[in-house]
Amino acid sequence: MRPGWRSPRAGAVMAFIAVLAIPGRPSGMGRCVARQAADDTLRRCRGHERVGAARGRGARPGRWPWPPLLSGNAAMRQRGGQRCFGPLRSQTSQLSHAGMHAAVRAAVSGKGFTAPQPLEDQVRLRFLLTCAVVLALTPALSGAASGAAPAIHVQNTSAADDPKDTGGPVISPTLASQIKAKNSVRSIIQLKPGQSVQDVAKDIERASDGSRVLEATGSPHFFVAEVDGPTLNKLKQDNRVQAVYEDQLSVPFLDASTTVIRSDRANQAGWTGAGTTIAVLDTGIDRDHPFFAGRIVDEACFSSSDAGDGTVSLCPNNQPTQSGPGSADAETAQCLAHNVNTCSHGSHVAGIAAGATATGAPDNGVAPGARILAIQVFSRVDNAVTCAIGGGQAPCLLSYTSDQKLALEYVSRVAKAHNVAAVNLSLGSGGPFTEACDADPGAAALKPEFDALLAQGVAPVVAAGNNGFENGVSTPACISTAVTVGATDDADAVTSFSNRGPLLDLFAPGWGINSAVPDDAYGEKSGTSMAAPHVAGAFALMRQAFPDNTVEQSLRRLRDTGTQIAAGSSRVSRIDMERATTSAPAAADPRA
């Protein structure tokens, strides 16, 4: 978390993180190339993935032939009990794959992806495609060199946050060019405090024949609409509107790991996260998995459908929203593709944060006594062009920013009732952001929700991303009020895929992590997506041990008691939960 806000780097119109969640120990590299329309620069992202699963006590070869969202056009090959991935090829070029598991080259221009047909003829794709691929996003290094990183600081980022402000809205700098290329763009209209969603939405419907309100989100703060040029011009003059930006898509980015961070010793001392709840915004959860037995306290689903993008809701009721038991079920028919469960990421992440030992299971997660609030925020995508740009093949899973905002608002509403200590987001896209991105309405779309959670003592924990950026992170990890997490391996070395730089807050293990996957099984995944839930679980332990601490105080304690990891010229703490729960000032007796 960073104080205040600073101007971000020139915003990329599109960038994506390939292989954010990398099942298995990465042994190769994948590169995907995306074009940033803002500066016409190609960025490379690296990743690799392997899946292994075990049912009961016996280890079995990878239960899923390929990791969800990462298969792309991959040619698979099997080595021993592991499923590996051959080169990914685009229509335009092929990259060498010596030592690589996957590589894809993609080019995105203002008119679309260089596929056989122009993008605009096939899908109204959001150019800011966020890839939270199986949440293997590892926010490598945090900020400050040697000393403590800046304290969390929540403040308004513009005059538009003031309900008395009458200035015009902040418009995403790339939105106009996207509308010009595609005629209209699915966008989020964020309102100023006290304004009526119904009134503004009604005016949008009347503004132009090319604009329409797509869905009633149920939020009092924003709504989603298809916006064309004439409507955008009118919105620029509408003093009721705070910001207008594209509704981006995101891709979903233990035995040894709990020993490395010594949460096992903290658990033995009684610090298990009992009485707290961890919210996991991901691809749903295997709700009857023994790793979570009796501890899923609530479920919800925010999953949009859009015919233009080829997206379909993953809510069991086939509607854009659902709440209550079964709402985040990861074993529905929509999650299956060719007998493969594409929704495995969320169960794996939840198990790292709060799994509890069961027959045939790995060791506990970080907070085995904590409850779980599972929220589905991904949609199934059946459009091949959309999935190909994200490095996968149809069907794949992607998450709309608007669905993430609704999910975070839901967490805010129930945070007090469930004593929520942290919310985990192992997803993201874009970058590298070398400075806080708060001034960019698209990149910082979740900041209002992060700030609201912080005010209630809930830590927004975000994976840094798997691009291998040495001096930057992805979004939403770039938001100043996010707790940004990078990945290390068993030897406390920064993983090659983990993003790092001055915005990184903490490190946690993210290499070859064994946790729950659907069908009551277990499997290994690697990535910053795996590192982040270690920290979410850590905040649950801190809430139990120091119930009066603010998020900032708990973060400072995690930094001060962690093991310093070198990454370039910076040093960032890898969490150590035994020290965090026992160092002076000591926590109260958990059994008292």
The catalytic residues are 282, 345, 529
- Name the 3-class secondary structure at 543: helix
Q: Which of 499, 430, 496, 500 is nearest to 9 (CA)?
A: 430
Residues ≥6 apart with Cβ < 8 Å to 433:
8, 9, 443, 472, 473, 474, 475, 477, 478, 503
| Run of H or E residues at 162 | none
φ, ψ of residue 328 in degrees (nearest 5): -105, 25
Structure tokens at 542: 């801190």
Torsion of CA 20, 21, 22, 25, to 10 degrees: 110
Q: How far is CA 39 from CA 16, 43, 247, 265, 501, in A?
A: 15, 11, 21, 49, 21
Structure tokens at 69: 């969202």
Q: Judge contact between 368 and 263, C-beta under 8 A.
A: no
252: preceding bond cis by omega (within 30 degrees)? no
Q: Which of 39, 75, 19, 138 is nearest to 501 (CA)?
A: 138
Q: Judge contact between 260 and 511, C-beta under 8 A.
A: no
- Name the 3-class secondary structure at 432: strand
- Name the 3-class secondary structure at 112: strand
Alpha-carbon span 99 to 94, nearest angstrom: 15
Alpha-carbon span 227 to 243, nearest angstrom: 13
Q: What is the DSSP string of 243-304?
A: EEEE--EEB---HHHHHHTTHHHHHHTT-S-TT-EEEEEES-B-TT-GGGTT-EEEEEEE--
Alpha-carbon span 356 to 91, nearest angstrom: 46
* HEC string for 192-212: CCCCCHHHHHHHHHHHCCCCE
φ, ψ of residue 411 in degrees (nearest 5): -60, -40
Helix%, strand%, coil% for the chain, nearest 5: 20, 30, 50
Q: Judge contact between 394 and 431, C-beta under 8 A.
A: no
Hey, CA dihedral for 305, 310, 315, 316, is it positive or negative?
positive
